[in-house]
Chains A and B, each alone.
Chain A
């Protein structure tokens, strides 16, 4: 019925498919084709190379840790922004999106300058023996920065829709504040928190611009996987770059699937609780 009344099905879908095919699918096919040129043996050799392993470990491990930190801080910041009224709240709320809006290269050089031994923060941390710039810790700082908005922005609508009477009921039944938080509030937030976590993780795994400046890029120590792809390209090792790119792509695919499943789960969760 609908299909007959509204026009433009062929035109809009056709245009969208051709565009998507040319911009996304064709290049991805080229990636798959080039990557397969390396062969199973080549792939194993590439992935078992210590330098590749170290880079993948840093990208994935750093991203996991950064996403965990972001889940904790994001929960705190989201909670404060939704629950409490204080001067400057709206400004801070708008500021949360800064890592989305600030180009990664700008964030990269700003963070590096800030945490360099003579920087505003680096000068404070240096006497404490904490070196951030040009170490894996710097990679972590940059990853926390770029992933920060995800958890806050996913949590905020759910936090705002929390029914306060459930908390009041818990407290009138004698629960302490932390008991209410861990037994009543956190279970409801858990699926959303996980979604935010996964989004922050996916972003940080592939992050390049904000990380490469602060990382120092020392092979085996502070070199991330995307940088290794760039280096392979610069050495005209197209097959190696493609294979590593395909591995990174599969990783993002897996994360994308997890996010979709989590969203479906949290949707069902919301239906059941309301």
Chain B
């Protein structure tokens, strides 16, 4: 026995250990990540592809898809502008209170989604600060689309800024200073020097921001009021169908969101492989 053991190539017990570790890790990833993902598609297609297509073409589903796209189309560009402005101010200038500004930018990531929605109800709801005034002027924010947009902006606010700040910090401002000294105007400098330098990181941030904007549930569910066809985004439509025991319908809409997640992951991975240096090491937490 012992002779046979000794005759093996040196280090094989260790390699066996490696294989065991790899198997445990792979098993966990498959059980914990792949299975839930597979569940979504299997349940969505349970009654065949034709039924699936019919389900996602129902008017409520189409309305939910439309609303989701509208909300993201407003929230993402606004947070993109904010991210660029905040990153420019924070990485190119010194000013008092910079650290506090950074902490406030990060804040929405660490707040419970429910609280993110709650704050807008307290501000604009019937009993909120501006509630009576809004009511008198016939403006509806809570239980209407503006509330959905605001809550979405809140939860996705940090994405672009967080992506840009470490990168622009690392890049420094020499190229921009050179452009200015050579006579470029502010906007020329921005569009010809700054923007090309940060484009991939910007795309990366927008990608993650968009995925969260379209998939946000907690914050949006608090301000939505769940009015079918009017204030239900796709995640809310998933919830309503599920709670009505329409499992196939719920998973059909969910499968579209899962596809969005997969596309997001694929593009994100591609960006990391091809432009890793131009995206820069960033703090994790970008959900």
The interface of chain A, by Cβ under 8 A from chain B, is 2-3, 5-9, 11-13, 15-17, 19-20, 23-28, 30-31, 33-34, 73, 76-77, 79-81, 83-84, 86, 88, 90, 92, 94-107, 109-111, 113-114, 119-121, 144-145, 148-150, 153-154, 157, 177, 196, 199, 202-203, 205-209, 213, 225-227, 229-230, 233, 236, 238, 241-242, 245, 248-249, 252-253, 255-256, 260, 263
> B17, B93, B266, B268 — which one has the most chain A CB atoms within 10 A of its CB?
B93
Main secondary structure of the interface of A (DSSP, over half): helix
B153 is an interface residue with CB less than 8 A from chain A: yes
Contacts of B34 in A (CB 8 A): 95
The interface bits of chain B over 146-189 (1 if a CB of A lies within 8 angstroms of the residue's CB, else 0) are 00001001100100000000000000010011001100001001
B218 near A7 with CB under 8 A, answer: no
**The 5 nearest A-B residue pairs measured at CB:** A206-B112, A103-B215, A27-B119, A7-B186, A153-B284
CA–CA, A26 and B153, complex, Å: 14
Q: How many cross-chain pairs have Cβ atoms below 8 Å apart between A and B?
A: 287
A4 nearest in chain B by CB position = B180
Taking A107-B36, A150-B285, A199-B284 as known contacts, 12 extra A-B pairs with beta carbons closer than 8 A to each other, sorted by chain A number, are A13-B95, A23-B150, A31-B122, A95-B29, A101-B211, A105-B215, A106-B215, A106-B254, A111-B36, A202-B110, A238-B122, A263-B283
B195 is an interface residue with CB less than 8 A from chain A: no
CA–CA, A174 and B229, complex, Å: 69
Whether A27 contacts B110 in the complex (CB less than 8 A), given A100-B287, A245-B115, comes out as: no
**Pick from B43, B78, B93, B118: contact of A2, CB under 8 Å:** B93
Contacts of A225 in B (CB 8 A): 112
The interface bits of chain B over 117-144 (1 if a CB of A lies within 8 angstroms of the residue's CB, else 0) are 0111111010111000000000000000
Q: How many whole Å from B176's CB to the nearest CB in chain A?
A: 6
| Selected A-B contacts with CB under 8 Å, 10 pairs | A6-B92, A13-B95, A24-B104, A105-B257, A106-B261, A209-B113, A209-B221, A226-B114, A233-B121, A248-B111
A84 near B254 with CB under 8 A, answer: no
Q: How many whole Å from A120's CB to the nearest CB in chain B?
A: 6
Chain B residues bordering chain A, tally (CB within 8 A): 101
B85 is an interface residue with CB less than 8 A from chain A: yes
B284 near A102 with CB under 8 A, answer: no
The interface of chain B, by Cβ under 8 A from chain A, is 14, 17-18, 21-22, 24-26, 28-29, 31-37, 39-40, 43, 78, 81-82, 84-86, 88-89, 92-95, 101, 103-108, 110-115, 118-123, 125, 127-129, 150, 153-154, 157, 173, 176-177, 180-181, 186, 189-190, 208, 211, 214-218, 221-222, 234-236, 238-239, 242, 247, 250-251, 254, 257-258, 261-262, 264-266, 268-269, 281, 283-287
